[in-house]
Structure 1
Amino acid sequence: MIQVSPFDSGLYQTLLSDTEAGRWLNDQAQIRAMLRVEGELAEAQAEAGLIPAEAASAIAAAAASLVPDPDSLAAGTASAGVPIPALVKALKAALPAEQARWVHFGATSQDIVDTALVLNCAELITLFESRLKAMITALADLADAQRGTLVAGRTRTQQAVPMSFGFKVAQWLSPLLRQLERLEELKPRLLKTQLGGAVGTLAAMGDKADLCGQILARRLGLGCGNNWHTQRDSLVELSGWLGLCTGALGKMSQDWLLMAQTEVGEIRFSNGGASSTMPQKCNPVNAEIMLAMARHNAGLVGQMHQAMLHEHERSGSSWAQEWLLLPQQLMSTAVALKHGLDAMAHIEINPTRMLHNLGAFNGVIYAEAATFELARSMPRDQAASLLKQACSEAMSGDAHLFDLVARHSGVQLDVTQMQQRLLSDGATTAWLDAVLQQARAQQP
């Protein structure tokens, strides 16, 4: 087998792939799902009175036991542009002629491929939900534990004002909670059968067509989707969800990378990768891969929108484009979540370094809080003007901001008291508690 993508590489599989997700994305998973659909379709047609019950039972049994080698289907797939004709031929070969003639009755290849895809997506969604909930729990525990730790809040890469590190963690957590909500809303639109026949009308099944579709959906545990051969909005919606999920994880991992820089040192990861020549290094590999997956998925979302452009009642090119894109997105999301959980198990917080960084540049990070404190005893415009002058002097000299404020105003500010107010005042406590309450509700 030719290996081009790192997702399929033996060399990179532990770093850039995921075994659990691969169970539902590999050739064997697709073949199993397609055979399951063929078997259940026959049973549904028998239940509706369209084909003989004996034939349906034999087809279902053969579909359940047949394990064709993907290589044996490759030539047929290349010739037809889709694997179903070769798979149907193999299934028919396992049956007597009288029963074989009812295989794939009235269906089209896209019905089987798309419904099989949805079945495997359902399994992957279960995996994503499990990992998201585990990630949410880990982040909630960290946010709660660190709610009393001050860290420099940063805007446009520069120190702004101090904030609760626990609240910062809660901000990483919040979009993951929304991702669970979005996924729940998405399921009914995505997890549905495809059964339309040649051009979507299911004409070959006559007056049993609609009933067959409803029975097939029930037997597969899916919604009844009827025909969506060229209406791919639900798959594109899934693509968008995957992009949002890895994007939320990527934002978090980018913060981790910045906070773990040697000069910052506010966090580190005990499982970081070593350098071959620099033994002091502890590279944050998990965060790097999470960010790479976010960027990769973001690019694929746009291409999936291009794959919506099917012509008339079936497209070969747009459909094939999905085959290239969606599996990569599904795998990227699984990989990002795997690395996220691994990182959370090895993250180390350095409150001492956080406090040290707050004291950089002679305490100017407290300028906003000092302005509002001074405004208790003088007009706010005067307080702001005084702090602007004091900040300029602190940045260019050796004196601490609070000493300069005392020199210019006669008011001695207490840094410890101000730090406590920064933790307790404002919306931090209420908003942090609200996020944690939502997170705890996801726990079993």
Structure 2
Amino acid sequence: MAVSLFQSAIYEAQFGDAELSEIFSDRAEAARMVRFERVLAQVEGELGVIPNASGQAIFDGLTDASVDLAALSKGVLSSGVAVPALVSELRGQLDPEHGQYLHWGATSQDVVDTAMTLAVAEALDVVEDRLRQLIDALAAKAETYETLVVAGRTRGQIATPITLGLRIAKWAQPLIALEKSLADIRGRILLVQFGGASGGNTATAPYGPQIGEGLAKALGLSAAAPWHVDRTGLVNLASWLLQISVALSKFAGDLILHMRSEIREVSAGAGGGSSTMPQKSNPVGPETIRTLASLAKAAHAGLADAADPAEDRDGGQWPIEWALLPQIFIAVGASLAHAQVLAETLTANEDQINAILAANDGVMAEQISFMLAEHMPRPEAQALVKAASKTGKPLRVSLPELCEQDLDWDDLFDPQKSAAPCREIAEAIFAGR
């Protein structure tokens, strides 16, 4: 049994994400923490908080700094965080005259939170790119099937005709809204952290805000007041990621339903085989997305639970973020990759779709009752269609038998009438981009 599906020799290929795992790797985290220390020294030197020569010496001297991850691990055993050991490692690579100014006025959380934020910036770029590609793929499929009428289903029952194009557009609809809201999410989370021991910048007063602004500019982040105990930005990020996961789970869940053996309206992805039943083609891709959605929900719950640190800094809640933030990113990133394959390979089984429509002509009941209301009172039209539906005969047979008026029944029973309004709605959904 793997400790983590995301980093398992057996399961990682299916549930993990190599690109995002690298962003959140120990090696990458150490490099980002070194980057923070280098830039901090340079900024403080330019402001005169430390000697400018020392600031530049630290910045230049740690350009190719090597970090012993094993030493950081030992440091965590005593400090609960890697930064003290990191600072010790880096000072050993500097002239003592300059090394004494390393990490000047900063605290461990400044380093870790800013390094985390830099990782989030990289990871969001990956997610945004995949989200855009997926919406593009769904838009192309929606256009391909904009006039293909299928049986709409509500509460598990065949309801009214819609187009496959509209169904696909509905899968994309929440993703489009999330794509638009990403700028706001970046604004809430991509913030530099610099507050010192208790978030008051007392060791670097009165230069604290200027140091934060200099750090933000050099690191490509936004300046902000210290947010050691304000984790709402992180919760907003986790909620945004969870919404992507939920939207993808809806897409995957619908595919599982419509790819069932007795329905087979569509196919998507490469079906998985059974160990004992050669006739089966299991919906492995959609099932994986559903699994990842459950993992994302669990990670989101944990991140929300960790968002109430005690007093002015908290060492107990904080590590929960280190564990779960990479997990929710990887769950979402892997889901997007699987969804891309499904969207690109989505194919309609038109013969089966038409057969289902023909065998369930009651799908036209609502539409016909409104059309009949042009010839009789609405309650009478509804009662007529309801009575015809209960005869046990196909509606196309029973309704003309019960109706006294001579109508163009072929026209009334034409499901293609649904195509135009469905196409308009699908186009409106994608126009929202």
Q: Which range, TM-score by smaller chain?
A: over 0.9
Match of 1:386 in 2: 384
Of 417, 422, 428, 1:421 maps to 417
Match of 1:24 in 2: 23
SS at match of 1:291: helix
Distance in 1 separating the partners of 2:68 and 2:387: 77
Deviation at 1:270, TM superposition (A): 4.5
Match of 2:369 in 1: 371
Equivalent residues of 1:406, 1:412 under 8 A apart? no
How many pairs were matched up?
431
Q: TM-score, normalised by structure 1?
A: 0.94
- Any unmatched runs of 5+ in structure 1? 440-444
Structure 1 position 126 matched with structure 2 position 125: yes
The CA deviation string for residues 393-427 of structure 1, in whole angstroms up to 9 with x for no partner, is: 23xxxx32111001011445116862121212xx4
Deviation at 1:3, TM superposition (A): 6.2
SS at match of 1:333: helix
2:24 alignment partner AA: L
Distance in 2 separating the partners of 1:341 and 1:313: 43
Deviation at 1:387, TM superposition (A): 1.0
Structure 1 position 150 matched with structure 2 position 144: no
Match of 1:293 in 2: 292
1:433 alignment partner AA: E
Structure 1 position 272 matched with structure 2 position 271: yes
Deviation at 1:191, TM superposition (A): 0.5
Match of 1:181 in 2: 180
Q: 1:199 to 1:177 in 2, by over 3 A?
A: same
Equivalent residues of 1:403, 1:412 under 8 A apart? no
Distance in 2 separating the partners of 1:112 and 1:351: 57
Identity %: 33
The CA deviation string for residues 18-54 of structure 1, in whole angstroms up to 9 with x for no partner, is: 1111121111111111111111111111111111222
Distance in 2 separating the partners of 1:249 and 1:302: 18
Of 382, 398, 406, 2:400 maps to 406
Deviation at 1:83, TM superposition (A): 0.6
Distance in 2 separating the partners of 1:393 and 1:91: 85
Of 422, 426, 431, 1:432 maps to 426
Q: TM-score, normalised by structure 2?
A: 0.96
Aligned 1:118-267 pairs, distance under 5 A: 118-267=117-266
SS at match of 1:378: coil
Moved over 6 A (4+): none
Equivalent residues of 1:62, 1:91 under 8 A apart? no
The CA deviation string for residues 341-381 of structure 1, in whole angstroms up to 9 with x for no partner, is: 122232222122111112234x1111111211222212111
170-179 or 47-56: bigger deviation? 47-56
- Any unmatched runs of 5+ in structure 2? none
Distance in 2 separating the partners of 1:247 and 1:140: 19
Deviation at 1:308, TM superposition (A): 1.3
Aligned 1:299-378 pairs, distance under 5 A: 299-361=298-360, 363-378=361-376
2:96 alignment partner AA: A
Aligned 1:110-121 pairs, distance under 5 A: 110-121=109-120
Deviation at 1:429, TM superposition (A): 3.1
Distance in 2 separating the partners of 1:3 and 1:160: 44
The CA deviation string for residues 223-273 of structure 1, in whole angstroms up to 9 with x for no partner, is: 012300011000010010011011111111110111111111011124122
Distance in 1 separating the partners of 2:329 and 2:187: 18
Deviation at 1:8, TM superposition (A): 1.2
2:71 alignment partner AA: S
Equivalent residues of 2:188, 2:233 under 8 A apart? yes
30-39 or 105-114: bigger deviation? 30-39
Match of 1:92 in 2: 91
Match of 1:442 in 2: none
1:148 alignment partner AA: T
Q: 1:8 to 1:299 in 2, by over 3 A?
A: same
